[in-house]
Amino acid sequence: MGSRRLPGKVLLPCLGKPILAYQIERLRTVNQIDQIVIATTTNEPDDSIVNFCQQNDLAFFRGSEHDVLSRYAEAAEAYNADIIVRLTADCPLIDPQGIDQVISTFIRLSCSRVYVSNTIERTYPRGMDAEVFSIELLQWAHKNAVSPYDREHVTPLMIRNEREDIIHKNVCNTRNLSAYRFTLDNPLDYVQISLLIESDLPNYSMQTLLNRAADLKINFHDNSDGHGGDVG
């Protein structure tokens, strides 16, 4: 709830529901996720996220605002997780099939020191991000990460792989759509995402988002720094 660019963004309303509800709807259709846990903070403003969880039968965990790595590790321990699928709550239009693809890639590699993501080399739009790693690798990062940056962003120590003993696997899209964004980070994102949701999307696929955005003439090229372009 403490976003500086868009305060309270995950609970902003759209068609009578908070934006976060649309992401949860999508996550509940991911075939290989056993449990969804909302890892929020102990800050008073995040009481509203806990209320949302309680109203929607969602597990939750409350931890540090800035030491997000400790929050993840403690949440994973509290819910006896063995494989962690890391998703951020500002991706209300994430494609469930894309998440399943990242999970399947991790499972095929079958190793505790594996980090799989679709963002190591970005070919998916922002807002489709998924990371998968084992509880063992998370506990290792929690034990060894020192810098505030590493602790705030959870996975940088895994990604840097300074000892070169972690297997990295990037899941690539069939075409490079890295210039597009379906993430909720600023007021323009909120307007555009709301327009898509209000258009009564027929399914949860990324291609449907691209097609509908083109139909509605919504510019979903990366607007985080003012760049423009046409969706295609």
CATH number of the domain enclosing 86: 3.90.550.10
User: What pLDDT does 223 receive?
Assistant: 57
- Asked, for residue 210, whether it belongs to a domain, the answer is no
As beta bridge partners, residue 38 has 60
- Asked, for residue 95, whether it belongs to a domain, the answer is yes
- Asked, for residue 230, whether it belongs to a domain, the answer is no
- Asked, for residue 140, whether it belongs to a domain, the answer is yes
> What is the spatial distance between Cα 194 and Cα 12, in angstroms, rounded to a whole number?
10
Q: What is the pTM of this model?
A: 0.93
- Asked, for residue 107, whether it belongs to a domain, the answer is yes
Closest CA to 19 of 48, 42, 60, 59: 48
Lowest mean pLDDT among 38-42, 61-65, 78-82, 217-221: 217-221
User: What pLDDT does 220 receive?
Assistant: 86
- Asked, for residue 201, whether it belongs to a domain, the answer is no
User: What pLDDT does 224 receive?
Assistant: 54
- Asked, for residue 129, whether it belongs to a domain, the answer is yes
Q: What does the pLDDT look like over 190-216, one tens digit per residue? A: 999 999 999 999 999 999 999 999 999
User: What pLDDT does 231 receive?
Assistant: 33
Residue 66 in 3-state DSSP? coil
Question: Do 116 and 57 meet the contact criterion of CB atoms below 8 Å apart?
Answer: no
Q: What does the pLDDT look like over 80-120, one tens digit per residue? A: 999 999 999 999 999 999 999 999 999 999 899 999 999 99
- Asked, for residue 220, whether it belongs to a domain, the answer is no
Given a cut of 70, is residue 225 above it in pLDDT? Answer: no
Q: How many domains would you assign to the chain?
A: 1
Phi, psi of 117 (to 5 degrees): -155, 165
Domain range for 106 is 9-179
